Amino acid sequence: MRESATDAAHARVCRLSIVRGLLMMLAICSASAAGGAPRQVIIDTDPGTDDAIAIMLALNSPELAVRAFTVVAGNVPAAQGLDNALHLVSLARRCDLPVAIGAQRPLAGMLTTAELYHGKNGLGDVQLPPATCAADKRWAPDLIDDLVHAAPHEITLVTLGPLTNIALALSKDPSIVPLVKEVIMMGGSVSGGNASPAAEFNVYVDPEAAKIVFEAGWPLTMVGLDMGDKVLLTRSHLAVLANEHSPMAQLVSGIGAFLLERAERAGRSGAGMYDPVAIGVAIDRTLVQVTPMHIDVETTGRVTRGETVANRSGRVSRHELRTFPEGDRYVATGADRVAPNADVATMVDAERFVQLLLSRIKGK
Protein backbone atom coordinates (compact mmCIF):
# COMPACT_ATOMS: atom_id res chain seq x y z
CA MET A 1 0.00 0.00 0.00
CA ARG A 2 1.35 3.45 -0.93
CA GLU A 3 1.98 5.94 1.88
CA SER A 4 0.16 9.27 1.26
CA ALA A 5 2.02 12.60 1.73
CA THR A 6 -0.04 13.22 4.89
CA ASP A 7 0.86 9.79 6.27
CA ALA A 8 4.52 10.36 5.51
CA ALA A 9 4.43 13.80 7.17
CA HIS A 10 2.65 12.31 10.16
CA ALA A 11 5.22 9.55 10.46
CA ARG A 12 8.00 12.16 10.24
CA VAL A 13 6.38 14.21 13.03
CA CYS A 14 6.02 11.06 15.17
CA ARG A 15 9.66 10.10 14.63
CA LEU A 16 10.73 13.66 15.53
CA SER A 17 8.56 13.65 18.67
CA ILE A 18 10.04 10.31 19.76
CA VAL A 19 13.58 11.61 19.24
CA ARG A 20 12.76 14.83 21.14
CA GLY A 21 11.16 12.80 23.93
CA LEU A 22 14.23 10.55 24.19
CA LEU A 23 16.58 13.54 24.20
CA MET A 24 14.55 15.26 26.93
CA MET A 25 14.50 12.04 29.00
CA LEU A 26 18.25 11.74 28.57
CA ALA A 27 18.64 15.36 29.67
CA ILE A 28 16.38 14.82 32.68
CA CYS A 29 18.39 11.74 33.66
CA SER A 30 21.66 13.67 33.43
CA ALA A 31 20.10 16.51 35.50
CA SER A 32 19.14 13.94 38.10
CA ALA A 33 22.61 12.45 38.01
CA ALA A 34 24.10 15.94 38.42
CA GLY A 35 22.10 16.74 41.53
CA GLY A 36 18.54 15.57 41.95
CA ALA A 37 15.30 15.81 40.09
CA PRO A 38 14.59 18.82 37.89
CA ARG A 39 13.05 21.82 39.60
CA GLN A 40 9.30 21.99 38.99
CA VAL A 41 8.32 25.47 37.85
CA ILE A 42 5.20 27.39 36.97
CA ILE A 43 6.12 30.30 34.73
CA ASP A 44 3.86 33.32 35.07
CA THR A 45 4.46 35.56 32.07
CA ASP A 46 3.30 38.47 29.91
CA PRO A 47 4.92 37.47 26.62
CA GLY A 48 6.78 39.76 25.69
CA THR A 49 10.05 39.62 23.70
CA ASP A 50 12.36 38.70 26.56
CA ASP A 51 9.62 36.49 28.03
CA ALA A 52 9.68 34.51 24.77
CA ILE A 53 13.46 34.02 25.01
CA ALA A 54 13.07 33.07 28.69
CA ILE A 55 10.37 30.52 27.83
CA MET A 56 12.58 28.91 25.17
CA LEU A 57 15.45 28.76 27.65
CA ALA A 58 13.23 27.08 30.24
CA LEU A 59 11.87 24.54 27.78
CA ASN A 60 15.37 23.63 26.62
CA SER A 61 16.84 23.22 30.10
CA PRO A 62 16.85 19.76 31.70
CA GLU A 63 17.27 21.31 35.16
CA LEU A 64 13.66 22.54 34.90
CA ALA A 65 10.38 20.69 34.58
CA VAL A 66 7.82 23.27 33.48
CA ARG A 67 4.40 22.41 34.90
CA ALA A 68 2.39 25.29 33.39
CA PHE A 69 2.48 28.73 31.84
CA THR A 70 0.13 31.27 33.33
CA VAL A 71 -0.45 34.48 31.43
CA VAL A 72 -0.94 37.91 32.94
CA ALA A 73 -1.62 41.31 31.37
CA GLY A 74 1.54 43.39 31.14
CA ASN A 75 3.70 43.96 28.08
CA VAL A 76 0.56 43.30 26.03
CA PRO A 77 -3.10 42.76 26.98
CA ALA A 78 -3.74 39.31 28.43
CA ALA A 79 -5.53 37.97 25.31
CA GLN A 80 -2.53 38.85 23.13
CA GLY A 81 -0.22 37.37 25.76
CA LEU A 82 -2.19 34.11 25.72
CA ASP A 83 -2.04 34.00 21.93
CA ASN A 84 1.72 34.56 22.06
CA ALA A 85 2.21 31.90 24.74
CA LEU A 86 0.25 29.38 22.65
CA HIS A 87 2.39 30.17 19.59
CA LEU A 88 5.53 29.73 21.68
CA VAL A 89 4.59 26.35 23.17
CA SER A 90 3.43 25.24 19.71
CA LEU A 91 6.80 26.19 18.26
CA ALA A 92 8.46 24.19 21.03
CA ARG A 93 6.07 21.27 20.38
CA ARG A 94 4.97 21.25 24.00
CA CYS A 95 1.16 21.12 23.72
CA ASP A 96 1.30 18.80 26.75
CA LEU A 97 1.82 21.85 28.98
CA PRO A 98 -1.16 23.81 30.27
CA VAL A 99 -1.27 27.46 29.20
CA ALA A 100 -3.91 29.43 31.10
CA ILE A 101 -4.99 33.04 31.01
CA GLY A 102 -5.38 35.01 34.22
CA ALA A 103 -5.72 38.65 35.19
CA GLN A 104 -6.68 41.10 32.46
CA ARG A 105 -5.86 44.14 34.56
CA PRO A 106 -3.97 45.08 37.73
CA LEU A 107 -5.59 44.83 41.17
CA ALA A 108 -6.07 48.61 41.22
CA GLY A 109 -5.97 51.21 38.50
CA MET A 110 -5.58 50.86 34.80
CA LEU A 111 -3.31 48.55 32.80
CA THR A 112 -0.10 49.94 31.25
CA THR A 113 1.26 47.98 28.27
CA ALA A 114 4.62 48.25 26.47
CA GLU A 115 4.17 47.48 22.75
CA LEU A 116 6.59 50.32 22.06
CA TYR A 117 9.39 48.12 23.38
CA HIS A 118 8.01 44.68 22.47
CA GLY A 119 6.47 45.31 19.04
CA LYS A 120 2.81 45.43 18.03
CA ASN A 121 2.33 41.70 18.65
CA GLY A 122 4.56 41.68 21.73
CA LEU A 123 7.07 39.33 20.07
CA GLY A 124 9.19 41.91 18.31
CA ASP A 125 6.81 41.65 15.33
CA VAL A 126 8.29 38.23 14.53
CA GLN A 127 5.58 36.17 12.84
CA LEU A 128 5.27 32.59 14.04
CA PRO A 129 3.59 29.62 12.33
CA PRO A 130 -0.03 29.09 13.38
CA ALA A 131 -0.48 27.79 16.94
CA THR A 132 -1.37 24.13 17.26
CA CYS A 133 -1.76 24.09 21.07
CA ALA A 134 -5.01 25.13 22.76
CA ALA A 135 -5.51 27.14 25.94
CA ASP A 136 -6.26 25.39 29.22
CA LYS A 137 -9.79 26.23 30.37
CA ARG A 138 -8.80 26.96 33.97
CA TRP A 139 -8.26 30.50 35.26
CA ALA A 140 -4.53 31.05 35.89
CA PRO A 141 -4.73 31.84 39.64
CA ASP A 142 -6.86 28.69 40.17
CA LEU A 143 -4.41 26.61 38.17
CA ILE A 144 -1.54 27.92 40.30
CA ASP A 145 -3.40 27.00 43.51
CA ASP A 146 -4.27 23.54 42.17
CA LEU A 147 -0.75 22.73 41.02
CA VAL A 148 0.81 23.90 44.28
CA HIS A 149 -1.56 21.68 46.27
CA ALA A 150 -0.89 18.77 43.95
CA ALA A 151 2.88 19.00 44.56
CA PRO A 152 3.37 20.51 48.01
CA HIS A 153 6.84 22.02 48.65
CA GLU A 154 7.90 21.18 45.10
CA ILE A 155 6.78 24.09 42.96
CA THR A 156 8.86 27.17 42.24
CA LEU A 157 6.90 30.12 40.88
CA VAL A 158 8.99 32.03 38.35
CA THR A 159 7.36 35.36 37.61
CA LEU A 160 8.25 37.25 34.45
CA GLY A 161 5.44 39.80 34.45
CA PRO A 162 3.31 41.92 36.78
CA LEU A 163 2.47 40.01 39.97
CA THR A 164 -1.34 40.12 39.59
CA ASN A 165 -1.91 36.38 39.02
CA ILE A 166 0.29 35.43 41.96
CA ALA A 167 -1.40 37.93 44.28
CA LEU A 168 -4.81 36.61 43.21
CA ALA A 169 -3.77 32.98 43.71
CA LEU A 170 -2.49 33.91 47.14
CA SER A 171 -5.53 35.96 48.16
CA LYS A 172 -7.89 33.18 47.02
CA ASP A 173 -5.95 30.52 48.86
CA PRO A 174 -3.41 31.79 51.43
CA SER A 175 -2.67 28.18 52.39
CA ILE A 176 -0.37 27.93 49.33
CA VAL A 177 2.26 30.14 51.01
CA PRO A 178 4.04 27.42 53.02
CA LEU A 179 3.51 24.92 50.18
CA VAL A 180 5.40 26.92 47.53
CA LYS A 181 9.07 25.98 47.41
CA GLU A 182 10.23 29.40 46.28
CA VAL A 183 9.30 32.44 44.24
CA ILE A 184 11.85 33.74 41.74
CA MET A 185 10.70 37.12 40.52
CA MET A 186 11.92 39.19 37.62
CA GLY A 187 10.82 42.53 38.92
CA GLY A 188 11.78 45.52 40.96
CA SER A 189 15.11 47.25 41.19
CA VAL A 190 17.41 48.64 43.82
CA SER A 191 18.85 51.29 41.50
CA GLY A 192 16.08 53.12 39.68
CA GLY A 193 13.47 52.08 37.19
CA ASN A 194 12.61 51.77 33.52
CA ALA A 195 8.85 52.40 33.51
CA SER A 196 9.49 55.50 35.61
CA PRO A 197 12.68 56.90 37.15
CA ALA A 198 11.79 54.98 40.31
CA ALA A 199 9.92 51.86 39.22
CA GLU A 200 10.66 48.75 37.21
CA PHE A 201 7.89 47.83 34.73
CA ASN A 202 6.52 44.62 36.31
CA VAL A 203 6.11 46.25 39.71
CA TYR A 204 5.03 49.59 38.21
CA VAL A 205 2.10 47.91 36.42
CA ASP A 206 0.69 46.39 39.62
CA PRO A 207 2.35 47.68 42.80
CA GLU A 208 -0.50 46.43 45.02
CA ALA A 209 0.03 42.89 43.76
CA ALA A 210 3.80 43.13 44.16
CA LYS A 211 3.35 44.30 47.74
CA ILE A 212 1.19 41.25 48.53
CA VAL A 213 3.83 38.96 47.02
CA PHE A 214 6.71 40.59 48.91
CA GLU A 215 4.81 40.47 52.18
CA ALA A 216 3.57 36.88 51.87
CA GLY A 217 6.37 35.35 53.91
CA TRP A 218 7.58 32.77 51.41
CA PRO A 219 11.16 32.36 50.18
CA LEU A 220 11.52 34.97 47.46
CA THR A 221 14.43 35.83 45.20
CA MET A 222 14.21 39.18 43.44
CA VAL A 223 16.05 39.29 40.14
CA GLY A 224 15.63 42.96 39.42
CA LEU A 225 16.16 45.32 36.54
CA ASP A 226 19.72 45.92 37.74
CA MET A 227 20.60 42.32 36.83
CA GLY A 228 19.05 42.32 33.35
CA ASP A 229 20.77 45.64 32.63
CA LYS A 230 24.11 43.87 33.15
CA VAL A 231 23.29 40.90 30.92
CA LEU A 232 23.37 42.22 27.38
CA LEU A 233 22.73 40.24 24.23
CA THR A 234 25.07 41.80 21.65
CA ARG A 235 25.52 41.52 17.88
CA SER A 236 28.41 39.09 18.35
CA HIS A 237 26.20 36.88 20.53
CA LEU A 238 23.50 36.94 17.87
CA ALA A 239 26.01 36.02 15.17
CA VAL A 240 26.44 32.69 16.97
CA LEU A 241 22.82 31.88 16.12
CA ALA A 242 23.11 32.99 12.47
CA ASN A 243 23.80 29.49 11.16
CA GLU A 244 21.28 27.76 13.38
CA HIS A 245 18.10 26.88 11.54
CA SER A 246 15.93 25.40 14.25
CA PRO A 247 12.64 27.27 14.79
CA MET A 248 13.77 28.21 18.32
CA ALA A 249 17.08 29.66 17.15
CA GLN A 250 15.27 31.55 14.39
CA LEU A 251 12.81 32.96 16.91
CA VAL A 252 15.53 34.12 19.28
CA SER A 253 17.51 35.60 16.35
CA GLY A 254 14.45 37.50 15.14
CA ILE A 255 13.52 38.83 18.57
CA GLY A 256 17.17 39.55 19.34
CA ALA A 257 17.53 41.58 16.14
CA PHE A 258 14.42 43.59 17.03
CA LEU A 259 15.66 44.28 20.56
CA LEU A 260 19.18 45.14 19.43
CA GLU A 261 17.98 47.62 16.86
CA ARG A 262 16.05 49.44 19.57
CA ALA A 263 18.89 49.19 22.09
CA GLU A 264 21.42 50.57 19.63
CA ARG A 265 19.10 53.44 18.69
CA ALA A 266 19.02 54.28 22.41
CA GLY A 267 22.84 54.24 22.51
CA ARG A 268 23.27 50.85 24.23
CA SER A 269 25.58 48.11 23.02
CA GLY A 270 23.17 45.25 23.71
CA ALA A 271 19.68 44.21 24.77
CA GLY A 272 18.98 43.50 28.45
CA MET A 273 17.97 39.88 29.07
CA TYR A 274 15.63 40.61 32.00
CA ASP A 275 13.29 37.62 32.06
CA PRO A 276 15.86 35.09 30.81
CA VAL A 277 18.11 35.85 33.81
CA ALA A 278 15.28 34.93 36.20
CA ILE A 279 14.99 31.57 34.42
CA GLY A 280 18.78 31.34 34.65
CA VAL A 281 18.55 31.68 38.43
CA ALA A 282 16.00 28.85 38.54
CA ILE A 283 18.43 26.72 36.49
CA ASP A 284 21.60 27.62 38.36
CA ARG A 285 21.52 29.81 41.42
CA THR A 286 25.28 30.33 41.35
CA LEU A 287 24.81 32.66 38.38
CA VAL A 288 23.94 35.42 40.86
CA GLN A 289 25.01 36.59 44.28
CA VAL A 290 22.21 37.64 46.57
CA THR A 291 21.89 39.88 49.60
CA PRO A 292 18.97 39.46 52.00
CA MET A 293 17.00 42.71 52.23
CA HIS A 294 13.61 43.94 53.29
CA ILE A 295 11.73 45.30 50.28
CA ASP A 296 8.79 47.67 50.67
CA VAL A 297 6.72 48.49 47.62
CA GLU A 298 5.68 52.11 47.28
CA THR A 299 2.01 52.21 46.33
CA THR A 300 1.10 55.84 46.96
CA GLY A 301 4.02 58.06 45.86
CA ARG A 302 3.22 60.46 43.04
CA VAL A 303 6.61 60.02 41.40
CA THR A 304 7.66 56.79 43.12
CA ARG A 305 4.62 54.50 42.77
CA GLY A 306 5.92 50.99 42.09
CA GLU A 307 9.37 51.61 43.53
CA THR A 308 10.88 48.67 45.43
CA VAL A 309 12.45 50.39 48.41
CA ALA A 310 15.30 48.24 49.74
CA ASN A 311 16.42 48.27 53.35
CA ARG A 312 20.08 47.35 53.07
CA SER A 313 20.97 47.82 56.74
CA GLY A 314 18.32 45.54 58.21
CA ARG A 315 17.41 48.30 60.66
CA VAL A 316 14.96 51.14 60.81
CA SER A 317 15.36 54.17 63.06
CA ARG A 318 12.89 54.62 65.89
CA HIS A 319 11.62 58.18 66.37
CA GLU A 320 9.70 59.48 69.37
CA LEU A 321 7.68 62.63 69.64
CA ARG A 322 9.13 64.81 72.43
CA THR A 323 8.09 68.14 73.86
CA PHE A 324 10.61 70.99 74.07
CA PRO A 325 10.23 74.65 75.05
CA GLU A 326 10.98 75.68 71.44
CA GLY A 327 8.38 73.26 70.03
CA ASP A 328 7.59 69.57 69.67
CA ARG A 329 9.72 67.41 67.44
CA TYR A 330 10.62 63.80 66.69
CA VAL A 331 13.87 62.55 68.16
CA ALA A 332 15.77 59.41 67.11
CA THR A 333 15.86 57.04 70.06
CA GLY A 334 17.32 53.89 68.56
CA ALA A 335 16.86 51.42 65.79
CA ASP A 336 14.67 48.35 65.34
CA ARG A 337 15.69 45.30 63.39
CA VAL A 338 13.82 44.58 60.18
CA ALA A 339 13.72 41.01 58.96
CA PRO A 340 14.56 40.54 55.27
CA ASN A 341 11.72 39.38 53.04
CA ALA A 342 13.74 38.75 49.88
CA ASP A 343 17.09 37.56 48.62
CA VAL A 344 17.94 40.34 46.23
CA ALA A 345 20.30 39.49 43.37
CA THR A 346 23.10 42.04 43.43
CA MET A 347 25.73 40.50 41.13
CA VAL A 348 25.40 38.34 38.04
CA ASP A 349 27.92 36.36 36.03
CA ALA A 350 26.71 37.90 32.78
CA GLU A 351 28.96 36.16 30.27
CA ARG A 352 28.45 32.73 31.82
CA PHE A 353 24.70 33.28 31.65
CA VAL A 354 24.72 34.41 28.00
CA GLN A 355 26.81 31.40 27.03
CA LEU A 356 24.33 29.14 28.84
CA LEU A 357 21.43 30.85 27.05
CA LEU A 358 23.02 30.50 23.61
CA SER A 359 24.00 26.87 24.09
CA ARG A 360 20.50 25.96 25.28
CA ILE A 361 18.89 27.76 22.34
CA LYS A 362 21.25 26.00 19.94
CA GLY A 363 20.49 22.75 21.72
CA LYS A 364 24.25 21.98 21.82
- Interface residues with Ca ion (CB under 5 A) are 46, 48, 51, 160-161, 275
Measured from the CB atom, the residue of 31 and 82 that comes closer to ligand BDR is 82
Report, in Å, the least distance between residue 174 CB and Ca ion.
Answer: 26
CA distance 115 to 75: 6
The SS3 of residue 97 is coil
Contact with ligand BDR (CB under 6 A): which of 201, 214, 218, 258?
A: 201
CA distance 225 to 341: 18
Cβ atoms within 10 A of the Cβ of 25, count? 11
Q: Which stretch binds ligand BDR (CB under 6 A): 43-51, 57-65, 125-133, 147-155?
A: 43-51
Report if residue 113 touches ligand BDR, rule: CB under 6 A: no
Q: Which residues are CB-neighbours of 335 under 8 A, at least 6 positions away?
A: 315, 316, 317, 318
Report, in Å, the least distance between residue 279 CB and ligand BDR.
Answer: 11
CA distance 185 to 161: 8
Is-contact 112 305, C-beta < 8 A?
no
145 binds, among Ca ion, ligand BDR, none (CB under 5 to 8 A by kind): none
Cross-strand pairs, 156: 41, 182
Contact with ligand BDR (CB under 6 A): which of 75, 121, 253, 341?
A: 75
Cross-strand pairs, 65: 40
Site string for ligand BDR, 264-283 (x = CB under 6 A): ----------xx--------
CA distance 149 to 159: 18
Contact with ligand BDR (CB under 6 A): which of 44, 50, 206, 229?
A: 50
Is-contact 296 309, C-beta < 8 A?
yes
Report if residue 186 touches ligand BDR, rule: CB under 6 A: yes
Report if residue 51 touches ligand BDR, rule: CB under 6 A: yes
Residues that bind ligand BDR (CB under 6 A): 48, 50-51, 75, 114, 160-161, 186, 194, 200-202, 225, 274-275
